[in-house]
Amino acid sequence: MDNKRFLSLLCVLFLAMSCAKDGDDGSNDPDDNINITGYNIVDTDVTEFYDNNSIISSPLAGESYYGQDANYIINPPSYTDNGNGTITDNVTGLMWEQDMGEKITFDEAFTKAENSTLGGYSDWRVPTIKELYSLILFTGKVRGESAIDLFINTDYFDQPLGDTSAGEREIDAQTWSSTEYVGQTMNADKTVFGVNFIDGRIKGYPKSKPGSGVANTMYFRMVRGNTEYGKNNYVDNGDGTVSDLATGLMWQKADDGVARNWKDALSYSENLELASYTDWRLPNAKELQSIVDYSRSPQTTDSPAINPIFKTTEINDPNGNPGHYPYFWTSTTHLDGANPYKNGVYIAFGKGLGKMNGILMDVHGAGCQRSDPKAGNANDYPEYFGPQGDLRTVFNHVRAVRTISK
C-alpha cells in the first residue's frame, strides 16, 4: 500500500471514529454540533449537603434534595500566587490584585487602575460585577453583622473586615465593581453594584452619601486579562432552550410561571424533560448570575435584567402592582443566621425589593443576589427583613440549566 492511500485510510478511520464518539452506531449527540468558546464559570466550592434546616448526607438521584450545589462540582476553584502582589485564577484566566489597599471612591478606582503597574503590568482595570463575582465562594458563613468564614479564598486574597472601632459593622467591607445600575435605588440614588465577600451577597450601593452628595468610598480589587469574561453568546435553539456558547451552558428559555419552595425547585429541575434532554438541574448561584444582563432593568427597559431571548413571567409585586419579575432560585445554600442552613440563594432579575419607611421600593437593584428561606408557611410571607426591609418569600421561580457535553 502506497503512503498516500495509507494516509487516506487513516483520515477516513479518524472521521468515522469522531462521528461514532457517542456509540458504536455512529449516532450524533446534538451537543456535538455546538462550538463552545468563551470562559469558564468557577464552582462555588460547596461540598456539603443540606436540607431545609441541617447538614445531611449526600442525597442520591431521585431522593429529596438531590440536585443541590454539591451534587454538581464543575470547574473547582484553582489559584496561583504569582509572588508579586497578584493572584491568577487558573479557571477564568483572570489575574487579580491581591491586596486592595484602602477604601477609595468610584472615580478614584478608575484612576488607580489606569496608573497601576502592579506585577509589571499596565493593563489593569476595575472589574465588572460578573468578573468580581467569579471570586465568590459559598463556603463562607455569616451571622447577621458578624463574620464567621469569608466568602473568598483568604489563603490567596487579602480581605479586610469593616472597622468596628470606627463604628462600622464587620460586614461593612463591600467590594465595588465597575458596573453601575442602569436604574436607581431608594427611588433616587445613583448606584454601583458590589459583592460583599463578608456576607455573601451582590447589592447595589449608592455612589454618594444620601443628603450630602459626598462620594462614598469602598474597596476595589483590580483585575487584568481575559477581556471576554462575562460576555454571553446566545443561540436560540428553537426548541424551548437557549445555549450560551460563551459558558457551555444550555438554559430553559422560559420559566414555567410557577413559584416553588427550594426543595420543589430542585425536584422540578431534576425531573424536567425538555428538547429531548433529561439532564437538567437547578443552576448554582454563579451559573445563574452569568445570564444577568446588567444593561437592562424594569425601570429603564420595562423588562427584567436578562436578554430578551429569554422569556420571563411577569408578576405583581406584594402591593398588587404589575410590572414586577420573580426572583429565581439557585441550588446554593447561603450560610447566614442562627440556623445557617435554612436559606437558599436567589438572583433577582426584577427589582431588588425592600420596604423603607413603609414604602415598597427597589433597594438593591435588578441583578442583585440575596437569599430566602427554603421553606415556610405561605401565610407568613412575604415578610420584610433587615435595615433595607428586604422582601422575603419562600416561593421563587426556576430557570433550569444543563451543561453542554463535549
According to DSSP H, which parts of 290-335 are helical?
A: 298-301
**Sheet of 390-392: strands edge to edge?**
359-362, 353-356, 390-392, 383-385
Quote the distance between the C-alpha of residue 4 and its chain's center. Answer: 53
Q: Count Cα atoms within 13 angstroms, Cβ side, for 149.
A: 12
Q: Which three cell numbers mark 395?
A: 416561593
Strand partners, 201: 196
Which of 28-42, 254-268, 319-333 has the lowest average pLDDT?
A: 28-42
Could you read off the pLDDT of 12-25 as tens digits, one per residue?
A: 333 333 333 333 34
Cα 38 to Cα 169: distance, rounded to the nearest angstrom: 39
Residue 268's CB is within 10 A of a number of other CB atoms, namely 18
The structural domains of the chain, with segments of one domain joined by +, span 79-224, 231-403
Q: Which pLDDT score is estimated for 29? A: 55
Percent of the chain with pLDDT over 90: 88
Residues across the chain: 406
86-93 average pLDDT score: 97
* pTM to 2 decimal places: 0.90
Helix (H, G, I), strand (E, B) or coil at 340: coil
Q: Which three cell numbers mark 364?
A: 438593591
Asked if 46 and 70 count as a contact pair (C-beta separation under 8 A), the reply is yes
Asked if 394 and 343 count as a contact pair (C-beta separation under 8 A), the reply is no
Could you read off the pLDDT of 370-384 as tens digits, one per residue?
A: 999 999 998 899 999
- Over 60: is that where the pLDDT of 31 sits? no
Q: Which pLDDT score is estimated for 1? A: 44
Could you read off the pLDDT of 240-299 as tens digits, one per residue?
A: 999 999 999 999 999 999 999 999 999 999 999 999 999 999 999 999 999 999 999 999
Backbone phi and psi for residue 96, each to the nearest 5 degrees, phi listed first: -120, 150
Q: Which pLDDT score is estimated for 32? A: 54
Q: Which three cell numbers mark 128?
A: 465588572
